[in-house]
Amino acid sequence: MSDYDIAVIGGGPAGATLARLLDGRFRVLLIDGKTESENSFRKVCGGLLSPDAQKAFAEFDLTLPKDILVDPQIFSVRTIDLQKRIERRYQRFYMNLDRQKFDLWLESLVPDSVKRYTGKCRSISHENGVYILKCRANDGSEQSFAADIIVGADGANSMVRRFLYPKKKIRSYTAIQQWFAEEHSNPFYSCIFDPVTSDCCSWSISKDNLFIFGGAFAPKGCRESFERQKARLAEYGFKFGTPLKTEACVVLRPESPFDVCSGKDGAFLIGEAAGLISPSSLEGISFAVNSARILADILNRGAKKPCRAYSVRILPMRVKIFAKLLKCPFMYCPFLRRMVMKSGINSIKIS
């Protein structure tokens, strides 16, 4: 006998959206360790809402509370090839926000009928057609739950994905991010390419008199690569000062649409836990929200073969990842990137 019809593991944009959209007839459990405490888990993220993510929320007729937004709102990105010291500006339509407040706002939209458990899932087993979840609360106490269906919305290092696909490997990086007091006279957002220290990208963003610098690095020697790139950027003119805090997490970067894992045997994966993240920009919020919406629709309708239906419905997302992969060489191949940047195509001039 199960305690819940559906257990959602992870309360980020994917998990919170799914929990909000599931029909009230389901007994739903949402497991997430995030709180308003300063010591709470925080997603390592530049905190920019892309046009695709904005569209996803617009389709729900949702509007952001103003206290989630931060200053300044920036309309261009400084794209920097650090090795060749080439820089171009490109117009962008991102919204600058406080990622922690954004995640907590999404959780606040989850109806009271959903049971919340503030903690972390420690282990998963499948017994007699029921999933057993052993969890530890933030206060250290432990509890087990039984659910007919589980949904992994637990991000790049997903326990649910490892349980379902123990041999599945998706290319991963370590994302490291530091916060500093803002010392630049003119706030800016930047996207940095430095093949000397990483074959992925880095970012910086000014945010409420603070300056964030982060990047995705190969796991081995990631901190050394991060510090080396930071030193190279200091020579380029970036101002860092003493770090106020340092954050790190795993981030996925799929190499193929077939890296996406949808789930099986009454268990599902949504958002980055499924491998749904842009391999070019590492943007994942739009994929998280849209995959949650698709799964909610399938479960609410009571589809006879929900795993099969979900796999089919997310096919356009696999296609989108394939399109992003085609874009990657123009961003990450040093020769092609420099050709594009030197041409000035789609760049803007700063007066």
| Residue range 92-151, pLDDT digits in tens | 999 999 999 999 999 999 999 999 999 999 999 999 999 999 999 999 999 999 999 999
Q: Which residues of the chain have pLDDT under 70?
A: 39-40
Q: Classify 342 in phi/psi space as left (phi over 0), alpha (psi -120 to 50) or beta.
A: alpha
pTM (two decimals): 0.94
- pLDDT at site 72: 94
CA distance readout (Å), 102 to 68, 236, 322, 323: 6, 32, 29, 28
pLDDT of residue 42: 72
The gap between the terminal CA atoms of the chain, to the nearest Å, is: 68
Looking at residue 336, what is its pLDDT? 96
* Calpha distance 16→28 (Å, rounded): 12
pLDDT of residue 40: 65
Q: Cα separations (Å) of 96 from 48, 240, 290?
A: 5, 20, 21
Q: What pLDDT is attached to residue 2?
A: 83
Strand arrangement, sheet containing 76-81:
245-252, 172-181, 210-217, 201-207, 189-193, 76-81, 86-91, 347-348
pLDDT given at position 350:
82
Residue 53 is predicted with a pLDDT of 95
Q: Which of 236, 225, 248, 233 is nearest to 179 (CA)?
A: 248
Domains of the chain: 4-46+100-168+256-327 (3.50.50.60), 66-97+171-253 (3.30.9.10)
DSSP state of 1: -
Rounded to 5, what percent of the chain is helix, strand, coil?
A: 30, 30, 40
What is d(CA 40, CA 12) in angstroms, rounded to the nearest whole number?
Answer: 13
